[in-house]
Every structure is written in structure tokens, then in C-alpha cells.
A and B are shown apart, each in its own frame.
Chain A
Amino acid sequence: MSMMHVNTTVNGDEVEFLCDSRETLLDALRDRLGQMGAKEGCGTGDCGACSVTLDGRLVCSCLVLAAEAEGRQVGTVEGMAEDGGTLHPLQRKFIEHAALQCGICTPGILVAAKALLEQNPDPSETEIRYWLAGNLCRCTGYDKIVRAVLDAAAEMREDA
């Protein structure tokens, strides 16, 4: 089967790749573009480990075909830290609060939490828990994650 040619933008950089028509955006990011942040957990849109933004919307990249990314803007965890390595406040607070253990869910949760804070800079604990309900974590029990997001949001509001 002939491969499809896709032009897209990942974290602001224009990229192109060849892929199979059945290939997911997740697989293209990892296997074609070397962006290993998004993880495959379930592969069926339940766990959120593959969360990325597509034209600013939070989505599961395992449920997006790579070909659908043609001409669109993809955002991944690799785009969160500044050039030079300064971490995003969410990333810093996740470390401070020890909001990760094995780390598989962390890139997806960071991308999801960033999307939340962009539209709601002052979320309640309940709002955070509902927003992140599609991001499963089997290590932390979620509490440290929620605290880290609350703390990052507070810091980002002060700096705004």
C-alpha cells in the first residue's frame, strides 16, 4: 500500500512524514517524528496517556489518524518547557509535589492540565478532578497531581 504524505505543525515546527492510512497520530509522533512524550496506554481513548492538543483542543492522539493532522497544529509535552530547558510551572510543581511515580501518565496529564489552565486560570479542586477524569494514573492516587495543578495555577495567576 502506498504511503500517505502529511504536512503538519508540531509545537510550532513545520514537519512532514509518510505514514500508513491506518496509522495513528500517536504512532506518527513517536515512530516518525521522534517525539516520545505522548505514551500509548490503552490505545482506545480511555487512559489519556497519549493526550495532545489538536488545533488547541485536547484529544487522545491514539484516536486521531496521522493523516487527519494534515495542515493542523499539534501540541505535545515536548512543547511545554521553554527553549533552554526552563520548565513550565506545571512541570516544576509536578516535581515539587512528587506528583508522579512511574511517569507513564505524566506527559498526558501535563498537556491536559495546561489546556485546562489556558481556559480556566483558577479552577476549583472539583473542576480539576473532572477535567482530568480521562487521564488515568495507577501510582499516585491523584491527590498529589491535583495539588500540583492547584499550586501551579496559583503561581501562574500571580505571575500573570
Chain B
Amino acid sequence: MRYHTPSSFEEASEIAAAAPGITRILAGGTDVLVQLRADIVEPDDLIDIKRISGTGDITRSDDGGWVIGAAVPGVSLSEHAALCADWPGVVEGMALVGSTQVQGRATLTGNLCNGSPAADSVPGMIAAGAEVSVVGPQGPRRIAIESVPVGPGKISLAKGEIVTAIHLPSRGAQGGDAYERFIPRTEMDIAVVGVAVNLRRDGATITEARVAIGAVAPTPLLVPEAGAALVGSTLDDASLAALSEAVSAACNPIDDKRGTIEFRTHVAGVLAKRVARTAYDRAGDAK
């Protein structure tokens, strides 16, 4: 295994594009190094991006949004008061990933690019309308989070392409987001169902809403019908019932010992209502 420490993403992309065998990008390593240690994937080339300037930074963008470097660990998100105030749902999704030790290393970008259907940070980023910037042989591009995962362990990036940062939009007035998951214990587990809601209010009325679900389909999903069920409502019982129905209808889960199809589908609808209430309250607390 060749271990590379490029000093720019262009250099990293050139190494990845020219690499003949299995290539992995190393940020926090909490998936890549587990796969290496467990003899699941031994890369021929491992490209550590942490020496690239800016990869560990959280910065406010010109439009009032946030740019989160590809190597920013979860703990740095949780410690960032202004980011937590703007996007508590995104941060709480990431904070659910693993232990304190894992939080010291694991990244949003890694959680996305590992391609797990149950990745806890991904529904929150999709609901937020986040994007990733990518560099590659065809030049830089910026794409929606939901276009990255295409199946369990599979992402849409081409050979030589590398995610450089996550972009969260400007929070704006009266917005709130939230994420919750179901697990059979209180800590340190993989989501059986995860739901994220991001919405905006005008007074008591919801004017925009995005809903995303995790662990109930081959990839985390944006559910436009679920968002549409909330818009124009004051989160009354009828809109919550419509939300719940839309979320359950979008589920296409596996059946395994951690949750049956029926259970996951039902719980997704229940969680969606709960998470929508939290997002709604947070939007009301915001100025």
C-alpha cells in the first residue's frame, strides 16, 4: 500500500486518477482503516487529504452559509456554537456517529462517501439542501448531497474525483432542522430508521420544507412529497398525518434482524412527525 500526503486537491486528484488499483481517500479513517484492518478492502493507494490546507476548517461563506472542510471531525462541528445555532439537525446527525473516539476523527464527507444507507449525517445534509464541491480530471464541480450515494457502499464520483468540502446554505430567518434515528439501545448503534426535517416558517405557517430519510432504502433519500405535505400548514394533525404517510410510502427497506420491513416503514412515519415538531419549534425560536 502506497501512502500519499498530497498538499493540494489537484495533486490528490492526479494521484487518484493515475492509480492503477484500489484507491481510497483517508480523512478520519473510521471506515477506511476498519476495512483495511478487517481485510475487507486493502487499498493499493491511500491518499491522506489532511495535509491539504483548509481541509480542517469550518468557514462562513460569502452568502452566509458554511463551508466544512473534508477532514473536519465530528467533534469540531459539535464545538462550533454558530454552526450548531444555524444547523442543529446536521450537527446532531453527525454527533450520533460512533463513540467519543470516533467523533475525534470521523468526518461528514467520510460518512457521505462511505455510502452507507444508514449514514446518520446524510439525511440531515440532504434536508438542509447541502452540496459538495468535487475536484477531478474533468475540473471542479458542485453537486447536491443526494446525488452522491447511489447504492450501499457506492457513490457517483468518477475515478480521480475527490470531495473537497461540504457546503451548507445560509440558514436565513425562521428556519429550523432536526434529525432523529431509531436504534434499539441509547448509544453506539447503527440507525434502523433515520429521519431529517428542515423547514422555514412565516409566523406559524410553514413556507418551505425538505424531508430526508435514512436506513430505509439502498441510499438515504429526499422525499419531496413529505416536504410538500408540510408546506402551507401550521403543523396541524392533518399535515402531520400526510407527512407520515408520505414518508412511509417512500420507504423501501431491507428485512433483517435489526428491523423488519413493516417495522421500519411504520417507525419512519412516526419519527417523521416527531422530528418535524422539533424542527418547527426550532424555527420558531430562531429570529
Q: List A residues at the B interface (Cβ < 8 Å).
A: 4, 21-22, 24, 43-45, 48, 51, 54, 57-60, 62-65, 67-68, 70, 112, 115-116, 130-135
Contact = CB atoms under 8 A, between A and B. Distances in A.
B104 A48 contact: no
Given A51-B101, A58-B104, A45 B30 contact: yes
Given A21-B3, A21-B46, A22-B1, A134 B33 contact: no
A66 to B, nearest CB: 10
A112 B101 contact: yes
B36 to A, nearest CB: 7
B101 A58 contact: yes
Given A22-B36, A60-B102, 10 more contacts: A4-B3, A24-B37, A45-B33, A60-B101, A63-B34, A64-B105, A67-B3, A68-B29, A68-B50, A134-B100
Interface string B99-134: 111101100000000000000000000000000000
B92 interface: no
B75 interface: yes
Given A21-B2, A44-B37, A63-B30, A133 B104 contact: no
Contact of A59 (B37, B38, B101, B187): B101
The 5 closest A-B pairs by CB, nearest first: A134-B99, A57-B104, A21-B3, A59-B104, A60-B101
B88 interface: no
Nearest to A44: B34
Contacts of B232: none
A131 B3 contact: no
Contact of A131 (B42, B50, B100, B105): B100
